[in-house]
Structures are given as structure tokens and as C-alpha cells.
Amino acid sequence: GEVTSWNPDSNNTVNDIFPTATNIYAGGLFTSIGGANRNRLAAIDTTTGVASSLDPNVNNTINDIRLDNNTLYFGGLFTNVGGQERNRIAAIDIVSGNTTSWAPDLGNYVNSLDVSTSSVYGGGLITTIGGTARNRLAAINDNGTLSNWNPDVNGSVREIINSSGNIYIGGLFTTVGALARNFIAAIDINTGIATTWNPNANTNVLTLLADSGNIYAGGTFTTIGGQTRNRI
């Protein structure tokens, strides 16, 4: 249980990490890792704890990151990545370090991302994507265009996970489309309509995990499905 010698030394908050065999990708509010300038996004060697040469230079907070093959997707409050306009969501090539041409242009910030074979799902306080209305949750195609998938969530989405043909979300919402769904819901990945799965938490769900047929939830709630369950 002792702390290892691995010590990247970030100078500000880390909001999310994504591990690989060789690097830990970190995103947050920081501007340096181990004394090296790294604005809000860095790749840190899993053995040495030293920041790699990857330096995307993001101008504001990153809340969530996901790696898909050699493409690193991230979302947050930023509007510029590597000198290019990228509003709240962006992608970089981890080999070259370059910002990709994928640029959906979100009208408000992103809290959480998930990546499937053909789409990137983003949730947060989103109001528009590329000028088209999308309430808090949307699917973006590989080419950066907006998908027709449109669940229409009435409050902030804090977490997204993709499991068994559904997109599970947690947050501060109470409806998905025309259906009452309190703070946690499952949405069909094809139709965008909330499924019959309805745990009915009594307040915020902030994090989710899918494992072995179960969905684990954490947040500030004290009941789910009418049963007492304190925060997890």
C-alpha cells in the first residue's frame, strides 16, 4: 500500500486519466508536469513519470479523455488546441501530436465522452453542435458531422458509458426525451430513445461503471429504486 516512486508532479488539478501500457494520458487544469510546460493535456511515461514530448497546448480545462487506436479524444471548456479553434471537444493524433481535422464545434462544455466504432458520444451542458440544437447529449460521426441520434436530456450529463447496445448516462437530469428518468438512464444506441431500464435515483449520479452485467453508480444519491443506497 505504499506510494511508489512514480511522481509526475502536476502543478494543478487532474480531472481524468487514460492508461496504456506505455503512457498515462492526463487532462485537467494543469500547465506543467514535472516542471515541463504541458497545458491541460499530457502523456506521462508509466515507468519514469516523465512527460513525453506530446504537447497539444490546450487553452482551457479538460474534463474527460478517451483513446481510440492512435486518436485521443477529449472534452471540456477549451476553445483552442495547438493554435487551432476547437470548441469544447477535439482530437489529436498521439503519434504526430497534431490536432486532427475533426472539429464538431460545441456550444457549451463537455463533462464526459465515450467512443464507439463509428461515433463519439459527448455529454455535459451541450446546447448546440455545429449550430444544430442538441440538449446535453449527442453523438458525433467519425467525420465530425452531427448524428441524427438525439435523446434530448433536460439537465447536465456528468457521465457516459457504452455497454451492451445502450448508452448509460448519469447526471442532474430528470427527463430523457418525453420520459421521466431521474439522474440515471439507459438510451438505445440506435434509436436515441430511453429504454425501460429506470433505477430512479433521488439525486445526482456522477460516475458509472459497467462490469459483468451490472452497472455500478456513484454520486450524492441516498436512494435508488426506492431502496436506501448511500452514494454508491
β strands within 77-177, DSSP E: 80-81, 84-85, 89-93, 110-115, 119-124, 128-129, 132-133, 137-141, 157-163, 166-171, 175-176
Query: What is the identity of the amino acid at 112?
Result: S
202-217 per-residue burial string, b: 16 or more CB within 10 A, e: under 16? eebbbebeeeeeebeb
pLDDT of the residue at 175: 98
Query: For 54-106, what is each residue's pLDDT tens digit?
Result: 999 999 999 999 999 999 999 999 999 999 999 999 999 999 999 999 999 99
Give the largest Cα separation in the chain, rounded: 52
Write down the mean pLDDT value for the chain.
Answer: 97
Confidence (pTM): 0.95
CA distance 149 to 186: 14
Query: For 99-146, what is each residue's pLDDT tens digit?
Result: 999 999 999 999 999 998 889 999 999 999 999 999 999 999 988 999
- Looking at the DSSP bridge assignments, the partners of residue 229 are none
